């Protein structure tokens, strides 16, 4: 296996994950180009050789073990792999979906990218109009693509799911199913070895698998890097507030990394009440454990759905005297009428801005809001894919504390 030119690494994009897959592929090409150039520079110095000669010999070594007989490309420069596997995804009139892979993937290490939270219109083969798909539509698309990859002879299949579907159905409160774990077992039974996801709602979901590995990446470094372009993270009179008990570990990490105090917003909920919009919050009472008066408040959560809970928390914190309120969400879904409610809350002065990630494909309407900033995690996923492909440890990507400390020292 070539460390600089991985010809057996392929990325398949489901229609919902097309945009995120393209961003990952762009970063993969940059990663391998830099790796190749770095190796050429090192060998050039080590053996006192001209760089052009090293390029030729490195390409010669790759070509001599390649199955291709001709059309290998220029020998004196880096030749980037395409990575992307072309597919034709068709949605029939009765709703059935078929995925056809248009290039041989036999023996390849395949990474299937799907954004199950994508609410923007996606295009299927033979259709001129975009279709807005539900989570279940995206899931069915994912299942038929997994099957197509294995039927085509893929050696290994890994799923890249920035949003783990049904992750909020991870514990039983009554006569209900554990759909989050059931879904993982379905995927496992199809032969998938690994899922790469972002800030999963509950780590306990992975405990229900037998052989399936779950790589849970974190967006803390990317979010803080975006945040640092707006405020001075060291000098700002900042207090980190956990919006509820479920987010305490995440916010504790931010507080420890930034060396700032931690507060907790404790909320009582009525779980018998179903929330469909930000106006239907199921919170019955809330109180703050900590001090926010005259301070800049930073709150972090894993996902934003209808946003009712977050808006109510921001309103309470503002009433308690917070000078500035900043929120971060790894998975900004903005379900239902969430955008309208956040527009209204912003006009009312409940918050200053929200930092989200590009792990969820969002319409331009949201990306252009003055109160929303997007932090890219495409490079994070690209590095994870590269490490998994070469059987290297993913641990350096799971703990962002050292990267955060290096970033803060540069400020």
Band of pLDDT at residue 139, cut at 50, 70 and 90: very high
Candidate from 49-58, 107-116, 166-175, 193-202 with smallest mean pLDDT: 166-175
| pLDDT, the chain, mean | 89
Higher pLDDT, 169 or 115: 115
Q: Quick one: pLDDT band at residue 55, thresholds 50, 70, 90?
A: confident
pLDDT at 277 over 80: no
Flag whether pLDDT at 273 surpasses 90.
Answer: no
Cα gap 231→245, rounded to integer Å: 27
**pLDDT level of residue 269 (50, 70, 90 thresholds):** low
Binned at pLDDT 50, 70 and 90, residue 308 comes out as confident
Is 167 exposed, middle or buried, given 0-12, 13-18 or 19+ CB atoms closer than 10 A? Answer: buried
Q: How far apart are CA 100 and CA 97, in angstroms?
A: 10
* Calpha distance 40→142 (Å, rounded): 39
Task: Assess whether pLDDT exceeds 70 at residue 4.
Answer: no
Q: Which of 258, 270, 193 minimizes the C-alpha distance to 232?
A: 258
H-helix or E-strand containing 341? helix 338-347
Query: Residue 209: its pLDDT value, please?
Result: 86
Higher pLDDT, 174 or 193: 193
Domains and CATH numbers, the chain: 1-218+377-399 (3.40.50.2020), 220-376 (3.40.50.2020)
Outline where DSSP puts E strands in 156-261: 156-161, 194-198, 213-217, 238-242
Give the pLDDT of residue 203: 82
Structure confidence at residue 74 as a pLDDT band (50, 70, 90): confident
pLDDT of 400 above 50 = yes
**150: helix, strand or coil:** helix
Inter-residue contact 225 to 200 (CB < 8 Å): no
Of all residues in the chain, what percent carry a pLDDT higher than 90?
65
* pLDDT beyond 90 at 361: yes
First to last CA, the chain: 40
302 pLDDT exceeds 80?
A: yes
Q: Which is more confident, 207 or 154?
A: 154
pLDDT band at 13 (very low <50, low <70, confident <90, very high): very high
β-strand pairing of 262-269 with 283-289: antiparallel
pLDDT digit string (tens) for 107-134? Answer: 999 999 999 999 999 999 988 889 999 9
The predicted model scores a pTM of: 0.91
- E strands within 132-186? 156-161
Q: Please list the alpha-helical segments (H only) found in 240-297.
A: 248-258
Q: At 402, is the secondary structure helix, strand, or coil?
A: helix
Residue 246 token pair: 């479920």
- CB contact set of 241 (below 8 Å; sequence gap of 6+): 251, 262, 263, 264, 265, 288, 290, 292, 297, 298, 299, 313, 317
Environment class of 310 (CB within 10 Å of its CB; exposed 0-12, middle 13-18, buried 19+): buried
DSSP state string for 287-331:
EEES--TTSEEEEEEEEESS-HHHHHHHHHHHHTT-SEEEEEEEE
pLDDT at residue 16 tops 60: yes
Kindly report which listed range (42-56, 315-329, 396-410) carries the lowest average pLDDT score: 396-410
**Distance between CA atoms of 214 and 302, rounded to whole angstroms?**
17
pLDDT of residue 1: 42
Q: What is the pLDDT of residue 301?
A: 92
């Amino acid at each position: 296996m070539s460390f600089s030119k991985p010809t057996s690494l392929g990325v398949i994009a489901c229609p919902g994950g097309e945009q995120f897959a393209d961003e990952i592929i762009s970063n993969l090409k940059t990663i391998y180009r830099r790796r190749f150039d770095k190796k050429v520079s090192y060998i050039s110095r080590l053996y006192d050789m001209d760089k052009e000669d090293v390029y030729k010999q490195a390409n010669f070594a790759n070509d001599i073990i390649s199955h291709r007989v001709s059309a290998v490309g220029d020998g004196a420069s880096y030749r980037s792999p395409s990575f992307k596997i072309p597919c034709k995804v068709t949605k029939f009139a009765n709703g059935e979906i078929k995925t056809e892979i248009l290039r041989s993937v036999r023996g390849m290490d395949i990474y299937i990218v799907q954004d199950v939270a994508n609410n923007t219109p996606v295009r299927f083969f033979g259709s001129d109009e975009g279709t807005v798909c539900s989570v279940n539509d995206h899931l069915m698309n994912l299942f038929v693509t997994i099957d197509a990859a294995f039927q085509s002879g893929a050696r290994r299949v890994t799923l890249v799911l920035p949003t783990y579907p049904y992750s909020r159905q991870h514990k039983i409160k009554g006569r209900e199913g554990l759909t989050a774990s059931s879904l993982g077992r379905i995927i496992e039974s199809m032969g998938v070895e690994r899922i790469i996801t972002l800030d999963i709602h509950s780590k306990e979901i992975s405990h229900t698998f037998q052989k399936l590995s779950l790589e849970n990446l974190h967006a803390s470094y990317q979010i803080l890097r975006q945040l640092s372009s707006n405020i001075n993270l060291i000098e700002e009179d900042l207090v980190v507030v956990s919006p509820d008990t479920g987010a305490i570990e995440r916010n504790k990490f931010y507080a420890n990394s930034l060396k700032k105090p931690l507060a907790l917003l404790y909320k009582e909920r009525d779980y018998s009440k179903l929330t469909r919009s930000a106006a239907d919050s199921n919170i019955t009472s809330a109180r703050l454990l900590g001090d926010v008066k005259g301070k800049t408040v930073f709150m972090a959560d894993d996902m934003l759905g209808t946003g009712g809970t977050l808006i109510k928390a921001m309103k309470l914190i503002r009433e308690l005297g917070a000078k500035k309120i900043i929120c971060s969400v790894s998975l900004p879904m903005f379900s239902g009428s969430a955008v309208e409610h956040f527009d209204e809350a912003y006009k009312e002065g409940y918050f200053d801005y929200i930092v989200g990630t590009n792990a969820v494909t969002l319409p331009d309407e949201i990306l252009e809001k003055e109160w929303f900033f997007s932090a890219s995690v495409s490079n994070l996923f690209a590095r994870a894919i590269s490490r998994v492909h070469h059987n290297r440890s993913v641990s350096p990507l799971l703990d962002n504390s050292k990267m955060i400390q290096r970033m803060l020292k540069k400020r």
